[in-house]
Structures are given as C-alpha cells and as structure tokens.
Amino acid sequence: MSLPRSSRYVIIGAGIHGLSTAWNLARDLRSSGRGSGADVVVIDKAGVGAGASGIACGVIRNNYFQPAMRELMAHSVDVWESDPEAFSYHPVGYLQISHEAMHEDVASIHAQQRDIGYASTFVEGAEDSRRHMLGIFDDWQAQGITSVLQEHRGGYANNMASLKGLLGKAEAEGVSVVGGVTVLGFERDAAGAVTGVVTDQGTVGCDQVVVAVGPWVQQIWAMLDLPVTTDVLGTDGQVHRRPTWTYMCLQEGTLEVDPGYLTDNAGNMPPVVHIDTDAPLYDADGLVTEGPWGVYYKPDFNFGGVQGGYMPYVVDKPGEEVAVDPYGPESPDFVVGEDFYRTWSAALAHCQKRFEGKGHLMSREPSGGIGSFSPDNFPMFDMFCDNVYFIADSNHGYKMIGVGALVARELLGEPQGLLAPFCWSRYATGDLHPVSNSPYPWS
C-alpha cells in the first residue's frame, strides 16, 4: 500500500496502541457522521508488531496499587473480553502472591477492586495462603508468603495474533496501514503545530498526529524539540529534575517444556503466577539473591513453553536519552544473560517442585527488550505542539488495549476522565501516582 500525500489523522506506530486508536477513531468518525476510516492512516518503520508489542509477554492484569492505573486497566480488560477470539485472549486470571512487606498494599488493591466491581479473592496469612496455593498447584512450595490476591479476570493474550485481530478491525473500517515508512521529522506552522509528517517516502500533510511508538518515543520527542529533562514536584515539596525518558531492560525468557507441563490440579491452564518475596533464593550452586525479588510466569503455546520474566534494570546511557534506537544496531546493551537465566529458573523451582533441576531447559532465544520509561515510570497520555497526541505507555503498554478507544474520543473533543491522571502537567503540580512496596517500578 502506498503512502498518501495527506490524511486528517496520521498515527505513527503499528503496535497495540496505534492499531487500537486507528480502529476506534475510524469507528467513532463513522458512527458520528464526522468522517470514516479513509481519514486515518497508520505508518510504521517496519510493519505491524515489529516492535515491543510483537514480542510482548502478553500478561493482562488489574493488579496495580495506583487507583488511576487500576481503573484504566479494568477498562482495558473490558475491551479484551469484548472479542477474545479476535484478540487471542485467554481469560485464565492472575495471581499476585506476596510477602509481608506488601501485605497492606495488596489488601488496598483488593478493597479498591471490590469498590469498582472487579472480581478478585484475597487470602491473608501464611498458612491460609499456602493452602490456597496448594489448592491450585499440589507442588507449591514457595516460602515467606503471607497473602494471595487472585484476580478472576485478566490472564494473557498472544502478541502477534492479537495485533492481527486489531489490524483486521481497523482495515474493516477503511484505515490504511503502511509499513516500511521511517519518520524523519515534521513540518510545522508559525504557532508550532504540525502540518506534515516528513518520511523517507515523502511528506504526509495532516490535521492531527498520534505518536504510538513504544520505546522509540524518545526519538519522536526529540524531533519536536520537547524537553530532555522534566521538573517533578516531589512528595517532599522539592522540585527534582529528572530525565524525561529512561531506558530499562525487560528481562524475559522461556523454559522449553511442553506448555501443558504447567497445569493446575484439575489439569486446566492456571492463572498467570506473579510472586514477590523477600525469601533468600537458592539453586544447586548456592545463594542466587537475598531479595526482595519477583517473577511472573505462565504456560504459553505461542512461546512454546513456560514463559515469563524478572525485574527490569536501568540501562545507563548518559547523554544518549534521545538518540538511541532501542531495537536497532546502536541499541543499548540489553542482553539477557546468565544471571537472568539462573535467577528465573531458580525462582520457578522455589515456587513449584516440578521445576527443580530444569534450569538447563532455558531457551537462549532473544527475549525481553527495552522499555522507555517516564519520570515516574507511569504512562503519559497528552497533547503537545497543539495537535500531536503522545501515547507514551512507559512499558505498561500491551495490556492497555483500551487506551486507543479513550484517545480516539479525546481526538474528537471528548475529554476522558480515565486519561486525566496521566497528563504531563502532573509532574509540575506534584499529582503523582502512589508508589507501592513492589520490587517492580511500575506496580
């Protein structure tokens, strides 16, 4: 498909956010009589799912300590449930298994899930938590656990299959999706608004731009001369200058066993397992880590085994925050190495006896990737330069399939309360999201 010379709406990025926004925007234009999918074009430097969305682990959860995140995720789960076949969605549920330092946080999550009608069960106390987990897996043996939050909704989806489902919905509305198009810059009017997207295949005139490029956000941000640093009003009343974007390495992998190796006591696919604990972690060679640590895992026929991940780490590239292609030849060093393989396989064995002695089955195929994180590690959804809407998910992205529907309505002049807590102004005003005791920076 050739690149049009102009389009009312140009969406940059053919991942979960770009395709979801295109589908919903086209549908809303048609239903309101204000246009059609012919007014929307999606461009991508490679193609559908070529970036982070195409290799996403696919976990879908509501387990967030932050009320705004929890409400936004509940909306997204509604979207996943609206067409599980098209989105290749598996509603198996989700387990947050925690140690005592997280007990109060997780209890708060459960209470607020109850308040918004999101079904979950909360189990408290070490013995009751152990019994609950043994009721799911008869070989459960994790130590130091004092609570279990079981979400009865959520689960996981298959990354490329879900993107193809979104692509089909967008194209059915008349949206054009053009791959192999690299954005080089922008044409702007005297007031700074974008009038055209400059690409290696010509300039596309436009009225509105949506930036939905995942970890490439720093590059587009720089093209628009947006700030490299951001002043954040902290809870201490002081202003802290932070990098606007920071890279983190997302450590994920697959244990190459039959996915059916991880079934529950009834022989069914189990909920996604996420455990955070401060128990020392050992393997046959001795101490791996003293904690706290956390892993998540699930059986996945798409990945061909038991797949999941471990805590991320910051990629230190001073002075290169806006220059690096996170998946290109100049990408930061984010190799998932032996430390990850050892830790993750030891963590599986810590949790379930069936994984003891299975570390040698860890796949060495590239996995994980780079995430581009905001100053507080939470998403930013906002308009810049008068007509450029940024969907910067701060690595919360794939599960947030519902963001596209909300952004589409904002583009049509309908402010969305679910997106309001994620506007850029929160940094200046100090309206930040609360921070939990999870070892993960985004929970």
Residues 173 and 50 in one domain: yes
- pLDDT of 443: 64
- pLDDT of 249: 82
Residues 121 and 84 in one domain: no
Residues 281 and 359 in one domain: yes
Domain enclosing residue 333, as ranges: 94-152+246-373
pLDDT averaged per 10 residues in sequence order, the chain, 443 residues: 94 98 98 98 95 90 92 97 98 97 94 95 98 98 97 96 98 98 98 98 98 95 96 94 90 93 97 96 95 92 91 64 50 62 96 97 78 93 98 92 98 98 97 82 63
User: Euclidean distance between the first and final Cα of the chain, in Å?
Assistant: 40
Alpha-carbon distance of 52 to 340, in angstroms, equals 20
Establish if 239 belongs to a structural domain: no
- pLDDT of 337: 62
- pLDDT of 361: 96
26-28-31 Cα angle (round to 5): 110
Alpha-carbon distance of 311 to 107, in angstroms, equals 22
CATH, residue 275: 3.30.9.10
CB distance 239 to 231 below 8 Å: yes
Residue 93 has which token pair? 């549920």
Q: Which of 373, 394, 423 is the last residue of a domain?
A: 373
Residue 246 has which token pair? 């920071």
Residues 75 and 101 in one domain: no
**Residue written as token pair 């003891």:** 356
Residue 229 has which token pair? 């640093």
- pLDDT of 319: 42
- pLDDT of 203: 98
Residues 135 and 200 in one domain: no
Establish if 240 belongs to a structural domain: no
Residues 278 and 355 in one domain: yes
Alpha-carbon distance of 421 to 315, in angstroms, equals 27
CATH, residue 425: 3.50.50.60
Residue 222 has which token pair? 């720089």
Establish if 439 belongs to a structural domain: no
Q: Which of 325, 349, 373 is the last residue of a domain?
A: 373
Alpha helices (H) along 268-307: none
Establish if 35 belongs to a structural domain: yes
Between helix 67-82 and helix 103-115 the angle, nearest 10°, is 50
Residues 414 and 317 in one domain: no
Residues 147 and 159 in one domain: no
Residues 392 and 402 in one domain: yes
Residues 158 and 209 in one domain: yes
- Domain total for the chain? 2
Residues 386 and 310 in one domain: no
